């Protein structure tokens, strides 16, 4: 059998469903979920050096500079829990330089999952998204609202989830996506991300199971 857990990368446009799928993938494979967006937001609210350097970029929808994010990810992947349980990279690598930085230190993955969702669908997903600050669970006011009144009242909206900022985020995504996909062409799987979350998840898990056996 395998000595260590699966090493997975999930990529896709802003609001393509990466976070939603990562919750399901982690529950099934027991991997460590590493979202660079979550890590950066935590750094911003904690007021760390990384957070101070990242804040203005994130607020405007631009990518943070490669040197701000690469070091944190490499350090995190190096930790014992990742080595043992395996990992799921969400939102990284997002540029060619980030992909090259992983390759340079010998970090490779078993599967690169690309969620394909057209831009028109993404804007609606962004503006309706809400997060539960207590559980971290992701909701959508139209597609998946909570049925609990208490949860509904405490939901929060991300400051970069406006129609104006998602345009900037989409621009950054389109400028980099082909270079990133090209770096993983040999292990890439493309999944239609417009289906219902459970259907998307079924497709993803079939692909992961196929490479792990
Ligand atoms: P990050 O947090 O990574 O944001 P993102 O890539 O824009 O992705 P999102 O979190 O917006 O969306 P998602 O794909 O996880 O979708 P979700 O599941 O929530 O990055 C934020 C910022 O941090 C960047 O702009 C940048 O500044 C910085 N950053 C992060 N990583 C970086 C890096 N590597 N380099 C440089 N800078 C970096 O779903 C969205 C909504 O749709 C939800 O409401 C959900 O309920 C709904 N939904 C999900 N799936 C479906 C479905 N199948 N059908 C209908 N609705 C669905």
The interface predicted TM-score (ipTM) is 0.97
Q: Is 101 in the pocket of ligand 1 (CB under 6 A)?
A: no
Global pTM value: 0.96
pLDDT digits (tens, 9 = 90+) for 79-94: 999 999 999 999 999 9
Q: Is 18 a catalytic residue?
A: yes
Specify the length of the chain in residues. 213
Could you tell me which residues are beta bridge partners of residue 115? Answer: 12, 191
Angle between helices 18-29 and 197-212 (to 10 degrees): 50
129 is annotated as an active-site residue: yes
Tell whether ligand 1 has an atom less than 6 A from the beta carbon of residue 12.
yes
Residue 32 has pLDDT above 60, yes or no: yes
What value does the mean pLDDT take over residues 119-145?
A: 95
Cα 73 from Cα 89, distance rounded (Å): 9
Closest atom of ligand 1 to CA, residue 58: 27
Is residue 20 within 6 Å of ligand 1 at its C-beta? yes
């Amino acid at each position: 059998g395998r000595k260590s857990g699966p090493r997975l990368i999930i990529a896709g446009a802003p609001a393509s469903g990466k976070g939603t799928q990562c919750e399901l993938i982690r529950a099934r494979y027991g991997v460590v979920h590493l979202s660079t967006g979550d890590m950066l937001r935590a750094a911003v609210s904690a007021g760390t050096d990384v957070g101070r350097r990242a804040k203005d970029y994130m607020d405007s929808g631009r990518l943070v500079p490669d040197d701000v994010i690469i070091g944190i990810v490499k350090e995190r992947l190096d930790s014992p829990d990742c080595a043992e349980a395996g990992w799921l990279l969400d939102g990284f690598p997002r540029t060619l330089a980030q992909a090259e930085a992983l390759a340079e230190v010998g970090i490779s993955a078993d599967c690169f999952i690309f969620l394909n969702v057209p831009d028109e669908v993404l804007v609606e997903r962004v503006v309706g998204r809400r997060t539960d600050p207590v559980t971290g669970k992701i909701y959508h006011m139209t597609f998946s609202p909570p049925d609990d009144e208490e949860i509904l009242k405490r939901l929060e909206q991300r400051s970069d989830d406006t129609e104006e900022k998602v345009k900037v985020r989409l621009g950054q995504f389109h400028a980099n996506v082909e270079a990133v996909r090209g770096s993983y062409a040999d292990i890439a799987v493309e999944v239609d991300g417009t289906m219902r979350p459970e259907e998307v998840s079924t497709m993803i898990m079939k692909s992961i199971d196929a490479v792990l056996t």
